[in-house]
Each structure stands twice: as C-alpha cells, then as structure tokens.
Chain A
Amino acid sequence: MDGMLTLLVLLPLAGFLLNGLVGRRLGTGFVNAVGVGIPFLAFGVALWAWRTLEAGDGAPIVETVFTWAVIGEYTFEISFYLDRLSAVMALIVTGVGALIHLYSIGYMKGDEGYARYFAYLNLFLFFMLLLVLGRSLLVLFVGWEGVGLASYLLIGFWFQDAAKARAGRKAFITNRVGDAAFLLGMFLIFTFVGTLEMDRINEAVGAGLIPVGVATAAAILLFIGATGKSAQIPLHVWLPDAMAGPTPVSALIHAATMVTAGVYLVARLSGVYLEAPAASTLIAVIGVLTAFFAATIALVQTDIKKVLAYSTISQLGFMFLALGVGAYGVAVFHLFTHAFFKAALFLGAGSVIHALNGEQDIRRMGGLARQIPWTFGTFAVATVAIAGLPPLAGFFSKDAILWYSVASGQGGTVWLWVLGSITAFLTALYMFRLLWLVFFGRSRMEPETERHVHESPVTMTGVLVVLAVFSVIAGWFALPQYLAPLLGTPEVRFAWGGWHLLQVIFAVLVALLGLVAAARLYRDGGRPADELWQRFRGLERVLAGKYFVDELYDRALQRPWRWVSDRVFLRLGDRLLIDGSLHGLAALARWSAAAFARVQSGSLHWYAWMTLFGLVAVLIWVWRYV
C-alpha cells in the first residue's frame, strides 16, 4: 500500500512530539502508552511492510515522499527504499527497539526525566528508520546525524553529572571526525555519478562508469565515516565512555542498532566496495585489528558495562572483517544475531545493576545466580550465544565470518583467520569471565547492597526471556541465503568442502577452550587469574589502560590543538585582531572627540577668530586653485 513506509518512519516522530511536548504534564500512564505503544505499532507496520515485500517476491518498494530540491538537472528526493536488506534492518530496529522500550518502563521507573527519556528514545527510532529506509545517501545522512544527536542526548541523559555530559560530548565530537569524511565521500560520489540514490550508485559503479581510483577513494572516505559511527579503530574511543547513559540506551543504541549503521552503510553500498578491492582490504584489516584489540581490553575491565562495550566494539570488528572479505550477507547475519544477544546481555547487565542498586563493579558482585535466577538464566544463554557455541545464534554467524575470512576469494588470508580465531577464543574467555565473576562463586557484595538484592519486575525479565529465546533461534534463519539476491557471497578458494567442517569443529573447540579457561581462572572470585596476571604486570597495565589510546590522543591531538586554539585563535585572533581592532576604533573615536571638544570652548572671540581663519583659508584656496 502507498504510504506504508512513510507511516513507519513518522510513527516514532509522532511519539517524540507527543511525549516531548505534553508527556510530562499528562503523567506516566500516557508516557507509557505512547512511548512503548508506538514502537510496537511501528514493529507491526514493519512486519506488514515485510509481508508486502515478500508478496512481491522481494522486488524493491520505492516510496517518494516529496521532492526536496531541484537544482539544474539534479533532483533530490526524500524517498524510502525497502528491499530485503532494509527490511531486515527495519525489523531489527523496531523489534529490538520495541522490546527495549518495554524494558525501560521498569528500569527508568521514578526517574525525573521519564517523559524526556521516552521522547528521546522515540526520536532515536525515527532517525534510525530514516537512516535504514532512506533511498538516497542524503536521507541516510540526515538519519545518520540524527541518531548521533539522539545518542548524544541519551548518553548525557543525566546531564547534572559533569562526567556523563562530557561522555556525550566526546561521542558527538568523535563522530564529527568520521562525518567529515562521510560528507567528502558523498561529494566525490555525486561528482562522478551524478546521483546520491544508493541503488543507482551501485549500478553505476558496477557498470564500470567510475574510475577504480575514485571508487576506492569514495569507499575509503565512507568507511572512515563508518568507523566513527561503528566505533572502529581509530575512532573507537567514544563507545566505552558512552556507557554513561542509561543501560537500555546502551543496549539499543550502543549495541544493537546505531553502532551497526556503519555495517549497514557498507553493505548497502556493496556495489562500490566490490569495485574497490583496496578499500575492502583496509576494511578487513581494520575490522580484525579492532576485534582483536577490543577483545584483549575486555579481558581486564572491571565495570560490567565497559566489558560489554568492548565486546560490542570487538563484534563490530567481526562484522567489518566479513564486509572486508566480501561476505556482506554474512556481516548482516552477524549484525542480526548480535542485536539479540548483545541486547540481552546489556539488558541483563541493567537488571543486575538494578538489583544491586547501581553497583557496576564486577569485583563487588558474585554469587548472584540463585538470587536473581531469571536474569542469570537469560544472561547465561546470551553469553553462550556470543561465545559461539552451537546451536545458539552467535555460532552460526561467527563461524561463517571466520570461514570467509580465510576462504573468500576476495581477500581472504590465513592471518585474518588466525587473528579472528584468537579473538573468538578471547570472546569466549572474557564473556565467561563476566558470567563467573557476576553470578558464580562467593558473594563479594557490600552487606548493605546484598540485603536489598531483588529480581527485576516482569516487564524487564519478560523482555530478557524473549531476547534470550531469539539468541537461541536467530542463527537458524539462513539470512545470507535470504539476502543473496542483493548481497552476493564471495566464491570460495578451496576445492575440498571438508575444510569448512574442520573450521567449524575448530571454532567450537576454541569456544569450549575459552569456557574451560574462564571456569578455571575465574572461580573463587578470579584469584587464579589474579595470580597469573602477577607475572605479566606490564601487559595488564597496558590492557587496563586501554592501550593508552585516550592518552595518546590527548598528547598528539588535544594538547596541540588546545595550544593552537589558545595562542592563535584566542590570543592572536580573538583578543588581538578582532577585539584589538574594535577597541582601537573606539579609542580613535574617543581621542578625536576629545580633540574636537576642545575647539568648542564657549568663547565667542575664539569662534570669531576661527571663522576668520576659515574665511582666509577659503579665500587663499579659491585664489590659488579656481
């Protein structure tokens, strides 16, 4: 039906306006009905849109809302584009989004900014749907910036805390760096292709109308934009700090949906990346390095949300690895499964934090399994899923990524696979470490906290159960095959099919090894691990310091820029040039006014003399020159 996609996009916007304008006055009941009802409604519409798409056998549905601008021969339209890829994304965004909205009722209960929170969350959904459904890069970019705004608002949701407000700013500014490159990439593409509609860009590049060098440059620029949004090296520094926001926000924006926008962008423009092998290699390398380094950092973090944040960065690295070797469908598959188990993990962590009244340090947890069984059960399922044990969701997608990292004919190499497999081991290790330290062993909680431990309300545990179920079954959808008409899979380099079976067995063994190692090292509150770290103090310091990337940026970028800003822009430019010239003009006016004021003495004779001099001067001038 016509207007279906527009309705889907505009529903959350209506929710934002209603809750933002009158939600505070009309009370919690209204806020809940609008803030939670609308995402579920949107999910319903998304399902309907998907059914319509499938009824047309996957032929893309294009819906033009209005023409934004006509400049010469170019037309810029606001139009939505639904194919299987954007349908999958829209379903994830609205589905997981709706569940997280529901969960938020319990988590945010009694917060002062309750209506504001739901308004922001709905605003995020609106921009995310704009990003996913936009046909043109321009619309995508509006959504891209909009989710950045929503992310900024929600990270700094408790803005009275200066550190949290600062984290919001850091996220926003880091993203601007990527966005600058994104814009340049857009300009480059527009200059050479003459349109920003992504399906046409793919066609034009695929037809070889664009020089390879240009395609590579545009691909790399857009990828830099993606590294900003998806927290890849070197722009990953904002995501761990973004955990300052409410936990459901971390689950929705900083795990399941927004941070995967970069993956979606590259998959959407796969036509460009297929023609730019150099850019694809770069993506694979950045992806696998990010996955590896983030996983090592996650090993030693002590904040439950920080562990999950680094885990998110690592999993996003896996997705980019898949994109880099040409397995676009597999990357989206991992995005899909990751959305469920990572949302479950974050919401589980939120439930733990809720139970412990705000405690986030895993060194002061332990033994929670019996006290909050529902949270424990769902958290455990999601942990097994992310660790990649069959038959849960993470196993299928991660195994496919590892397989293509070595077998792909488009840049698969052994060392990508080696690094990826090590990361898979580390993933299992740090996730089971988290599980053991939080839920097993003896309690290390403060006695006061321990007395108040309680299971979360049913709106929270119910959502956890649903997400846990999907963490189990999400891998059973053959998403890469479903997307194959859009996103082709690369050809496999090895003739003998048995290699894949060996790789599967190896991956499972690696995950089991991680499980066993975590169980051995982190029983008893992690004492064996502490003893082990005693022998590698230097390494531990580097990991706990997150490779000192923040410090490096501080030294290499922030301080020089602060110096330049202070000396050149503030002291020289602002104070000396701008203020100086204005003050100088004012002083000149004052000085000349004082000089002329002296002339007006009030003495009549003085005036008469001056008249006389003036007359004489005029006479002399007339006599000489006229």
Chain B
Amino acid sequence: MSDANLLLAVSAMLFTLGLVGVVVRRNLLVMLMFLELMLNGVLLSLAVFTFLLGAEAGAVLMFLVFVVAAAEIAIAVPIVLLLVRAGRTLDPGSYAGLKG
C-alpha cells in the first residue's frame, strides 16, 4: 500500500514539475518536453490504479495514450521547426501575433 502511495506521490511530483516547467520556461522545445513529463506523471498514476484495481483494460489504455502522445509530438515538433524557420527564435512570446 505504501508503495502505491509512494508511486502516486512521484506521479504528482512529475505532473507538478512538468506544469511548472511549461509555465516558467520560454523555450518551445523545452516546454514540449515538460509537457511529456506531465503526461508521464498522469500515466504513472493510471498504471498504479490499474495495478491496484486489477483492471487489465487500464494497461491497454496506457499504450493507446502512448501512441496518441507519440503521434501528437510527431506533429508538434515539425510545427515548431517550421515556426523557427520563419521566425528564427524559440520564444513563444514572439509568436503572439498568431492568435485567431
């Protein structure tokens, strides 16, 4: 039980770290990495609960989320690359003009 609590605490810490990173860092690539960190935190808690409840479907869901996250990052990185090619900077603040 305490193992599970420990793992959940780690998951919360990962999520918080990721969140703080997304908020404070000004580099798009680093922000994407922190986003992945947040996702991993959430997935860790999903794994813990899957194990605790003995629901195999949870494990399947985890892999599905990984696939989606991989696809997502595969789109996000080229976008960032294109942005950098156009704007010569990784600072998201200089792309504020892209708002709708």
Which residues of A line the B interface, CB within 8 A?
Answer: 600-605, 608-609, 612
| Residue pair B96, A602 in contact (C-beta under 8 Å) | yes
Known: A600-B100, A602-B97, A612-B19. 16 other contacts (CB 8 A): A600-B99, A601-B99, A602-B95, A602-B96, A602-B98, A603-B92, A603-B93, A604-B31, A604-B92, A604-B93, A605-B23, A605-B92, A608-B22, A608-B23, A609-B23, A612-B23
Closest to B25 in A: A605
- The chain A residue sitting closest to B28, CB to CB, is A604
Which residues from chain B contact A603 at a C-beta distance below 8 Å? 92-93, 96
Residue among B98, B99, B100 facing the most chain A CB atoms (10 A cut-off): B99
Taken together as a complex, chains A and B put the C-alpha atoms of A253 and B96 apart, in Å, by 79
- Bits for B1-45, please: 1 = Cβ < 8 Å to A, else 0: 000000000000000000100110010000100000000000000
Looking at A601, A605, A609, which has the most chain B CB atoms within 10 Å of its CB? A605
Of all A-B residue pairs in the complex, the 8 with the closest CB atoms, nearest first, are A602-B99, A602-B96, A604-B92, A608-B23, A603-B96, A608-B22, A600-B99, A609-B23
Q: List B contacts of A600 (CB < 8 A).
A: 99-100
Q: Which residues of A contact B23 (CB under 8 A)?
A: 605, 608-609, 612
* Residues of chain B with a CB closer than 8 A to A605's CB: 23, 26, 92-93
Min C-beta distance of B20 to chain A, whole Å = 9
- For B31, the chain A residues whose CB sits under 8 A away are 604
Q: How far is the CB of B91 from chain A (nearest CB, A)?
A: 10
A619 to chain B, nearest CB (A): 12
Closest chain B CB from A616 CB (angstroms): 10
In the complex, chain A residues whose CB is within 8 Å of the CB of B22: 608
Max count, chain A CB within 10 A of own CB: residue among B93, B97, B98, B100: B93
What residues of A have a CB within 8 angstroms of the CB of B99 in the complex? 600-602
User: With A and B bound together, what is the CA distance between A604 and B26 in angstroms?
Assistant: 9
Question: In the assembly, what is the distance between CA of A609 and CA of B19, in Å?
Answer: 9
A478 to B26, CA, bound (A): 114
| CB-defined contacts of B93 to chain A, threshold 8 Å | 603-605
Question: What is the interface size of chain B, counting residues whose CB is below 8 A from a CB of the partner?
Answer: 13
Min CB–CB distance A608 → chain B (angstroms): 5
Give the A-B contact count at a CB cut-off of 8 A: 25
- Find chain B residues with CB under 8 A from A609 CB: 23
Residue of A nearest to B19 (CB): A612
A residues near B92, Cβ cutoff 8 Å: 603-605
Chain A residues with CB under 8 Å of B95's CB are 602, 604
A444 to B95, CA, bound (A): 95
With both beta carbons as reference points, the residue of chain A lying nearest to B100 in the complex is identified as A600
Residues of A within 8 A of B100 (CB): 600
Complex Cα gap A603–B94 (Å)? 8
CA distance A600 to B23 in the complex (A): 17
Cα A601 to Cα B97 with chains together (Å): 9
Q: How far is the CA of A608 from the CA of B38 in the complex (A)?
A: 13
Flag B75-100 by CB within 8 Å of A: 1 or 0 each. Answer: 00000000000000000110111111
A-B contact pairs, 22 of them (CB 8 A): A600-B99, A600-B100, A601-B96, A601-B99, A602-B95, A602-B96, A602-B97, A602-B98, A602-B99, A603-B92, A603-B96, A604-B31, A604-B93, A604-B95, A605-B23, A605-B92, A605-B93, A608-B22, A608-B23, A609-B23, A612-B19, A612-B23
Bound form: Cα–Cα A612–B24 in Å: 12
The residue on B at minimum CB distance from A615 is: B19
Which of A600, A602, A603, A612 gathers the greatest number of chain B CB atoms within 10 Å? A602
Residue of A nearest to B97 (CB): A602
Which residues on A sit within 8 Å (CB–CB) of B26? 605
- Distance (whole angstroms) from the CB of B21 to the closest CB of chain A: 10
Enumerate chain B residues within 8 angstroms of A604, measured Cβ to Cβ.
31, 92-93, 95
A603 closest partner in B (C-beta): B96
Name which residue of chain A comes closest to B24, CB basis.
A605
Please indicate the chain B residues that have their CB under 8 angstroms from the CB of A608 in the complex: 22-23
Q: For the complex, what is the distance from the CA of A609 to the CA of B25, rounded to whole Å?
A: 12
Q: Pick from A600, A602, A603, A604 the residue with the most CB of B within 10 Å.
A: A604
Which residues from chain B contact A602 at a C-beta distance below 8 Å? Answer: 95-99
Chain B residue at minimum C-beta to C-beta distance from A597: B99
User: In the complex, how many angstroms separate the beta carbon of A294 from the nearest chain B beta carbon?
Assistant: 78
Q: Quick one: closest A residue to B92, CB to CB?
A: A604
Contacts of A612 in B (CB 8 A): 19, 23
Distance between Cα atoms of A423 and B26 in the complex (Å): 106
**Nearest Cβ in chain A — how far from B37, in angstroms?**
14
Residues of B within 8 A of A601 (CB): 96, 99
CB distance from B79 to the nearest CB of A (A): 13
CA distance A178 to B50 in the complex (A): 87
CA distance A602 to B23 in the complex (A): 15
In angstroms, Cα B99 to Cα A609, docked, is 17
A413 to chain B, nearest CB (A): 91
Which residues of the other chain, A, contact B98 by a CB distance below 8 angstroms? Answer: 602
Question: In the complex, what distance in Å separates the CA atom of A604 from the CA atom of B23?
Answer: 9
Bound Cα distance A609, B95 (Å): 17
Q: Which residues of A contact B96 (CB under 8 A)?
A: 601-603
User: Measured between alpha carbons, how far is A154 from B99 in the docked complex, in Å?
Assistant: 67
Alpha-carbon distance between A608 and B95 when the two chains are bound, in angstroms? 15
- Give the residue name and chain of the B residue nearest to A609 (CB): B23
Name which of B23, B26, B98 has the most chain A CB atoms within 10 A of its CB.
B23
Report the bound CA distance from A10 to B26 in whole Å: 89
Distance in angstroms between the alpha carbons of A228 and B99 in the assembled complex: 71
CA of A260 to CA of B97 in the docked complex: distance in angstroms? Answer: 82
A362 to B15 alpha-carbon distance, docked (Å)? 106
Please, how many angstroms separate the alpha-carbon atoms of A575 and B69 in the complex? Answer: 59
In whole angstroms, how far apart are the Cα atoms of A601 and B98 in the complex? Answer: 10
Query: How far apart are the CA atoms of A428 and B22 in the complex, in Å?
Result: 109
Least Cβ–Cβ distance between A612 and chain B, in angstroms? 6
- CA gap between A59 and B31 in the complex, in Å: 105
Nearest CB in chain B: distance from A614 CB, A: 12
Closest Cβ neighbor of B22 among chain A residues = A608
Distance in angstroms from B50 CB to nearest chain A CB is 22
What's the least CB distance linking B33 to chain A, in Å?
14
Query: Bound state CA distance, A554 and B73, in angstroms?
Result: 83
Give bound CA distance, A609 to B92, whole Å.
14
